[in-house]
Homo-oligomer: A and B are copies of this chain.
């Protein structure tokens, strides 16, 4: 990579830290002095946990500068406030791997959005415990890794996925209706870096066959939930949810069908917001600076 390529003119900063006086002033001053102007900024203080969250997009007012220099300059402020932070080029594309089983609707939606240029990510690979989606994925010129799972090889298969993620510098694993439960080893290794789509409006209908549960309970709306993956199945921090109206006439199979549209768009939004650095973890919840 050449020196030039490290010069940035638009950068996005995300940070969280315990709330103290002067954070915004310190951040704004520092970047103003570095020649960067705020284009868009959101802040939030969790008044219960006294934690402060911020996402700011800066643009250079005096020409592009080396990203490394800005990071160095910011380090003093970040350390003073004991911040968790990230600073990167707005145009850097998040690198994602998508895991899928036999159902391809979420995968298809991500691939199609990506191909038409509306999902600002690099899709590094698709991994699956089935071969069903190979053809579709390869049509999009994305590598397809068939990694079958059995009770015997589960640890090994997970290790393979983690290796791929490490080797390829992957930012996010997207479980696009991947029907395997990850081990706690895996969820620990990917904390804050794995998003799952669950096909219900959590916390209702956790676990298997949520649309059949929804049918049995007779609910009048069904939904889907994108959340970070944690050790506790379907209990991770929620990123996005949406619902559609249904009625007594809808058989479980129709709920499944209606649900596919909801799952696809909810997961699509979560991945886009992750790529845009709009999602900040806050304990078992999320701060999402969107809309």
Assess the A41–B24 pair: CB atoms within 8 A: yes
Query: Which A-B residue pairs are the 8 nearest by beta carbons?
Result: A218-B285, A25-B28, A204-B204, A21-B37, A24-B28, A41-B43, A220-B241, A248-B287
A155 within 8 A of B: no
A-B contact pairs, 13 of them (CB 8 A): A24-B38, A24-B41, A25-B28, A39-B45, A47-B251, A104-B112, A105-B113, A108-B108, A118-B257, A203-B205, A218-B284, A245-B245, A291-B291
A61 within 8 A of B: yes
Q: How far is the CB of A104 from chain B (nearest CB, A)?
A: 7
A201 within 8 A of B: yes
> Within the assembled complex, what's the spacing in Å between the Cα atoms of A237 and B43?
26
A1 within 8 A of B: no
Q: A268-B261, A291-B249 are in contact. Are A243 and B240 (CB under 8 A)?
A: no
A246 within 8 A of B: yes
A242 within 8 A of B: yes
Residues of chain A at interface, number, CB under 8 A: 71
Interface residues of A in 8-37 (CB under 8 A from B): 19-25, 28-29, 31-32, 37
Contacts of A241 in B (CB 8 A): 219-221
A247 within 8 A of B: yes
A80 within 8 A of B: no
Q: How far is the CB of A134 from chain B (nearest CB, A)?
A: 13
> Within the assembled complex, what's the spacing in Å between the Cα atoms of A256 and B29?
36
A40 within 8 A of B: yes
Q: How far is the CB of A262 from chain B (nearest CB, A)?
A: 9
Contacts of A221 in B (CB 8 A): 201, 223, 241-243
> Within the assembled complex, what's the spacing in Å between the Cα atoms of A2 and B178?
44
Q: A247-B291, A285-B248 are in contact. Are A240 and B220 (CB under 8 A)?
A: yes
Q: How far is the CB of A230 from chain B (nearest CB, A)?
A: 13
Assess the B29–A38 pair: CB atoms within 8 A: no
